[in-house]
C-alpha cells in the first residue's frame, strides 16, 4: 500500500484479494470495509472493476479459443502446401529426367 497526499493507494493485487475475500466470506460490506479500513465507495468501485474484468476475461477466453483454432487450421494448411510442393518437385524432377532420356536417345 502506498501513501500519497495522505491517501492510501492499494495495489491491484491487494484490491483483488479484498474483493475476493469479501465475496467468499459473504460478510456485510460494512464489515469488510471495517476489516480493511476502507470506505464503502472504494469496495463497491473495486467490485465493479472486478466483475467488469471477469466479463472481459471470459470474452477473451472465447477469442483465444478462436485464435487457437485458426492457428491450428493455418498450420494444417501450411503442412498441406509443403506436401504439395514436395509432390510438385518430384513430378518436375521426373519430368526433367524423362526429357533428358528422350533427348539422349
Q: Domain of 45?
A: 2-104
Q: What is the pLDDT of residues 65-100, one digit of tens each?
A: 788 888 999 999 999 999 999 999 999 999 999 998
Domain count, the chain: 1
- Tell me the C-alpha distance between 27 and 23, whole Å: 8
- Tell me the C-alpha distance between 32 and 22, whole Å: 6
pLDDT for res 17? 95
> Would you state the cell numbers that stand for residue 83, as one nine-digit string?
506436401
Q: What is the pLDDT of residues 25-68, one digit of tens each?
A: 999 999 999 999 999 999 999 999 998 888 777 777 667 778 88
pLDDT for res 68? 83
Residues ≥6 apart with Cβ < 8 Å to 22: 29, 32, 43, 47
Distance from first CA to last CA of the chain, Å, rounded? Answer: 90
DSSP 3-state assignment of 11?
coil
Amino acid at each position: 500500500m502506498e501513501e500519497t497526499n495522505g491517501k492510501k493507494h492499494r495495489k491491484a493485487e491487494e484490491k483483488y484479494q479484498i474483493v475476493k475475500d469479501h465475496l467468499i466470506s459473504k460478510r456485510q460490506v460494512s464489515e469488510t470495509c471495517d476489516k480493511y479500513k476502507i470506505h464503502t465507495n472504494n469496495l463497491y468501485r473495486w467490485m465493479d472493476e472486478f466483475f467488469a474484468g471477469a466479463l472481459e476475461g471470459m470474452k477473451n477466453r472465447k477469442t483465444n479459443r478462436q485464435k487457437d483454432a485458426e492457428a491450428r487450421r493455418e498450420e494444417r494448411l501450411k503442412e498441406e502446401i509443403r506436401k504439395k510442393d514436395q509432390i510438385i518437385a518430384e513430378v518436375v524432377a521426373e519430368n526433367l529426367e524423362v526429357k533428358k532420356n528422350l533427348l539422349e536417345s
